Amino acid sequence: MLARTRTWSAHNTGSQNTDGLRRFAPLLADAFAALEADIALVEGPGFELIGSDGKATETHTGPIVEISSRPDAPVQVVMSGHYDTVFAPGIFETVTDLGDGRINGPGMADMKGGICVMLEALKAFEAGRLKDKLGYRIVLTPDEEIGNFASSESLRRAASSGAVIGMTYEPAMETGAMAGGRKGSAVFDIVLHGRAAHAGRAKEEGRSAIEAAAELVLGLEALNSQFDGVTFNVGSIEGGSPVNIVPDLAIVRFGARAPDQQAAEWATQQVRSLFDRAVKRDGIHGHLHGGFYRPPKPRNTAQQALFDAVHATGRAIGLDIEFVDTGGVCEGNNIFAAGVPNVDTLGVRGGRIHSPEEFVITESFSERALLSTLILNRLADGRMDGRRIKDLMGR
């Protein structure tokens, strides 16, 4: 597993590196060919991105790797992971042994290491006597780090095909703790247009899009702490012009997190109100893009039952797993939204993800592969009652 992950990590698969993603996906298909499963590379739909000119353009990413096995087995699970990283070509591309059982590299933890754990657990499970009792659908996505806009339908379809639980292979925390409740996540782009004018001769004839954007940003950041658990973060302001021209374009890019649906609706309403105020300014017009692309995944009764079952499974192999609520989001949010309870952080232990200091703890490969293998076995032999857990979703 470690050797494979190091090899995979050397391939740049930044979310916007379409060529790199397309070169890497067949390597995943080849690796998963060791399973008794059907494998397909599926082209996802295009999706809109707002460019630096304020215009929406359609973009495409790498293929979605869809894998299925034994769809008629009495117990079905959905498994998910992503093979894109946050690192563009030339940013962070080396693998370094840090000593003390840690290796630094892009995607070593998040989450090429997790995909290796998934694969080895399935190989171990299929070598046992219970394989005919459990079937699975796997979705490996090229766009999780930018929102699963191309692959969300694949995730929904796989989760809706009779799965009793979901298993997602994001990295566990360095301590071994796993994600409990997750907030929902939104991404917004607000494009504001003003009126250009000579800043010296006719300043009064211009209408500054940057000024309107600045007021909007202050309004967004002021929303923090107004609704319990809701956070806003402005990531960037783009646009502007030379200092002798009144700027006629500004793009505000920001995100929001919310712990439940009520909070998400409040956040969306506040964004719309601030946008409406901005475009009511004299000479300003614009458009609003985006929203909550991943709904919240709170700790409901079904989720807690699944966490308890995974905790008991971990205890059987000497792990005392803690589940910690987090503001982070993942494909588990999508699977939960499709009506399937999901455990999100079955991948390797690691830390400093989304930074050039990302590292994986090497001993966690076998530890986490063993945990997943035992979960699959317990689902297959009935010691973990997946149907009962899923039935609790409506409570």
Mean pLDDT confidence for 206-210: 97
Q: Judge contact between 76 and 134, C-beta under 8 A.
A: yes
Prior bond to 111 cis, omega within 30?
Answer: yes
Assess whether pLDDT exceeds 70 at residue 395: no
Alpha helices for the chain (secondary structure H): 2-9, 18-32, 112-126, 152-159, 209-222, 261-279, 301-316, 331-337, 364-381, 386-391
Categorize the per-residue pLDDT at 327 as very low, low, confident or very high, splitting at 50, 70 and 90: confident
Identity of the amino acid at 41: L
Identity of the amino acid at 260: D
Q: Pseudo-torsion of CA 326, 332, 336, 341, nearest 10°?
A: -90
For residue 6, the model assigns a pLDDT of 97
The fold adopted by the segment(s) 184-294 is: Alpha-Beta Plaits (3.30.70)
Tell me the C-alpha distance between 285 and 276, whole Å. 9
Assess whether pLDDT exceeds 90 at residue 328: no
Ramachandran class of 230: left when φ > 0, alpha when ψ lies in -120 to 50, beta otherwise: beta
Mean pLDDT confidence for 369-381: 98
Facing residues of 166 across strands?
A: 78, 342
Q: Give me the percent of the chain exceeding a pLDDT of 70.
A: 100
pTM: 0.92
Tell me the C-alpha distance between 330 and 199, whole Å. 46
Mean pLDDT confidence for 206-232: 97
* Domain ranges across the chain: 2-182+298-394, 184-294
State the sign of the Cα–Cα–Cα–Cα dihedral 109, 114, 117, 119.
negative
Could you read off the pLDDT of 76-99 as tens digits, one per residue?
Answer: 999 999 999 999 999 999 999 999
Tell me the C-alpha distance between 82 and 145, whole Å. 8
Tell me the C-alpha distance between 293 and 86, whole Å. 18
Q: Judge contact between 13 and 84, C-beta under 8 A.
A: yes
Identity of the amino acid at 23: R
Q: Do domains 2-182+298-394 and 184-294 have the same CATH topology?
A: no
State the sign of the Cα–Cα–Cα–Cα dihedral 110, 116, 122, 125.
negative
Could you read off the pLDDT of 1-42 as tens digits, one per residue?
Answer: 999 999 999 999 999 999 999 999 999 999 999 999 999 999
Mean pLDDT confidence for 255-269: 95
The distance from CA 90 to its chain's CA centroid, rounded to whole angstroms, is 23
Identity of the amino acid at 338: A
- Nearest Cα neighbor of 168 from 350, 312, 333, 362 is 333
Q: Is 2-182+298-394 assigned to CATH 3.40.630.10? A: yes
Q: Give me the percent of the chain exceeding a pLDDT of 90.
A: 94
Mean pLDDT confidence for 251-280: 96
Instruction: Find where tokens 């591309």 sit.
Output: 93
Mean pLDDT confidence for 31-54: 94
For residue 394, the model assigns a pLDDT of 74
